[in-house]
Chain A
Amino acid sequence: MQGLFIGLTALTWKQLVMMAIGGILIYLAIRKEYEPALLLPIGFGTILVNIPFSSVLDQVEGGETVAGALSIFFRAGILTEIFPLLIFVAIGAMIDFSPLFRKPMLLLFGAAAQFGIFFTMIAATLLGFGLKEAAAIGIIGSADGPTSIYVASRFARNLLGPISVAAYSYMALVPIIQPPVIKLLTTKGERRIRMDGNQRPISRTTLILFPILVTLLTGFFAPTAVALIGFLMFGNLVRECGVLKKLSLAAQNELSSLVTLLLGITIASTMTADRFLQLSTLFIIGLGLVAFIFDTAGGVLFAKFLNLFLRRKVNPMVGASGISAFPMSARVIHTMGLKEDSSNYLLMYAVSANVSGQIGSVLAGGLILALVH
């Protein structure tokens, strides 16, 4: 009879705290709609893995290890990097690069707005983290969940849970994080700058060649980044080739939904009380915020720097959408622009910078993998 209640009698206060955290994540996903596709599975998974002797994790029974479903998913999907890479195919299939062709200079914002990654890495080393762990924490600033998971699974598997939660939470909080930083760094006049552009169509051949050439270029100069960029560009090629419409739609919808679901609940397997309830988790949550703030600052300040030389000025707010959180950041900048001047439509430029941020974040992940030893 006692065996029936073993799950209850073995419950610790730490596991109860983790279950409450799981509940909060589910609440945020449902009530606040903060990245529900990720936070809901992570939240529920957190509850699952903190039940004592939970059969979703590996358990030792009679001297033998019995494999748990989430442990199997973790080994098959995260340690092999398959899940994040499949997500990149889906994301690639969702990206339309044509706005970038209309304003190619905005590509540079995709580099500037990754500054938070490196700043946070430095800050993490000052808090006593090793270089690899600091790099994995810094990559939260890529504002790109799969890249964060990919790098963390290589460099700091023990920190995968808090890094993923921080990355996805702050991505959902972009509308709250970015506006005050932008306002602090710009004048009202700068926020009212108008940008001119065009809506010309882009040739299909160009859109087909672009993902292939980007993959080749990245491969020649930074082969470590090829898996990341290559899968992203493969997804984009499927989209642009025009002969795989069904596959493109499947990648954008079914593949994306299924892998996101598996990714979320699998990451939760690292959210056990003994791993998560540590001082380092608090540091990671704090550093994640620092990363997003300095990403935004990097993009805005780079735009202001460019304006020193440009005849046709760039609205510095557009620089802030050089982060990867798509299309959230572009929408934030567009709305801010309209608040300053109701006839100033910045959406097209913000989307271009945001798309370049998606390339920039993946590239930054690849470069971190290449540079950190």
Chain B
Amino acid sequence: MSAAVVRVLRMALAVTAKGMLALFAFMFLFYVLLVVVDRIFQARDK
């Protein structure tokens, strides 16, 4: 593998780590949002 490929590969690995982490973090935030909003308005509707 050439040095250029290794350099791009390293960047891709960094993007993968950050990307998957951020994706799960966002989905977890949306999960919390979903549960909280649902609880508040479900109770209010009742």
Q: Which residues on A are within 8 Å of B, measured CB to CB?
A: 100-101, 104-105, 107-108, 110-112, 114-115, 117-119, 121-122, 125-126, 128-131, 134-135, 202-203, 205-206, 209-210, 213-214, 217-218, 221-222, 356, 359-360, 363-364, 367-368, 371-372
Q: Chain A: which residue is nearest B22 at the CB level?
A: A367
Q: Does the CB pair A118–B27 fall under 8 Å?
A: no
Chain B residues with Cβ under 8 A from A110's Cβ? 27
Q: Does the CB pair A126–B9 fall under 8 Å?
A: yes
Q: Does the CB pair A210–B27 fall under 8 Å?
A: no
Q: Does the CB pair A111–B20 fall under 8 Å?
A: yes
Counting contact residues on chain B (CB < 8 A from A), the size range is 20 to 34
Taking the closest CB of chain B, its distance from the CB of A148, in whole angstroms, is 16
Taking the closest CB of chain B, its distance from the CB of A87, in whole angstroms, is 22
Task: Tell me which residues from 1 to 40 in chain B have a Cβ below 8 Å from any Cβ of chain A.
Answer: 1, 5, 8-9, 11-13, 15-16, 18-20, 22-24, 26-31, 33-35, 37-38
Total contacts A-B at CB 8 Å: 112
Q: Does the CB pair A367–B30 fall under 8 Å?
A: no
Q: Does the CB pair A217–B23 fall under 8 Å?
A: no
Taking the closest CB of chain A, its distance from the CB of B34, in whole angstroms, is 5
Chain A residues with Cβ under 8 A from B19's Cβ? 117-118, 364, 367-368, 371
Chain B residues with Cβ under 8 A from A128's Cβ? 5
Q: Chain B: which residue is nearest A216 at the CB level?
A: B33
Chain B residues with Cβ under 8 A from A359's Cβ? 27, 30
Q: Does the CB pair B33–A213 fall under 8 Å?
A: yes
Q: Does the CB pair B16–A114 fall under 8 Å?
A: no
Q: Chain B: which residue is nearest A110 at the CB level?
A: B27
Taking the closest CB of chain A, its distance from the CB of B11, in whole angstroms, is 5
Q: Complex: how many Å from CA A115 to CA B42?
A: 34
Taking the closest CB of chain A, its distance from the CB of B4, in whole angstroms, is 9
Q: Does the CB pair A108–B37 fall under 8 Å?
A: no
7 cross-chain pairs, A with B, having the tightest CB-CB distances, nearest first: A118-B16, A203-B41, A111-B27, A111-B23, A206-B41, A125-B12, A104-B34
Q: Using known A-B contacts A104-B31, A110-B27, determine if residue A121 contacts B15 with beta carbons closer than 8 Å.
A: yes
